[in-house]
Amino acid sequence: MREPERILESAVRTSDLDRPIALMFMRTLGHLTDHGQARDLVLRLLDSLPSGSFSTINDGTNVLGTANSEAHEQYDQSGGAPYLQCSSEESAAFFEGLELVEAGPGEPVARRRDGVRAPTRGRQVRGVAHTP
């Protein structure tokens, strides 16, 4: 993830970059422990996509309850790969300059077995955007 050129080289071999494609970041951006670095990566990759492509981000947020914040601190101190949780504002910055699709960035909605949609209470941020 810290080498966007390698990512793009792989994409050229496996995708038709003359046609719109989807770029998905699923619970990965937090492993870049500097928000600016993560945002730069997203922007660099998005700039390489053809017009009409889509990007989706689903990542952790620090808008959490006390118990979840304490669990995250314990994880960070465990020696596992560090994971930076962003604020809602930092997460929204990933979508600057893009055309948001439907609700845009926000909390994900879980669909229960009975079909009822229920918010997931801020554990993560999600969003889908369209490149102009």
Give phi and psi for 71, each to the nearest 5: -65, -40
DSSP string, 54-99: EEEEEEEBS---HHHHHHHHHHHHTTSPP-PPBPHHHHHHTTTTSE
In the prediction, which pLDDT does 108 show? 52
Low-confidence ranges of the chain (pLDDT < 70): 64-65, 102-126
Give the pTM: 0.73
| Fold designation for 4-130 | Rossmann fold (3.40.50)
How far is Cα 25 from Cα 7, in angstroms, rounded to an integer? 13
- Hey, CA dihedral for 15, 17, 21, 26, is it positive or negative? positive
Which tens digit of pLDDT belongs to each residue from 35-57? Answer: 899 999 998 999 988 999 988 88
Question: What is the percentage of the chain residues whose pLDDT exceeds 70?
Answer: 80
- Return the CA Rg of the chain: 16
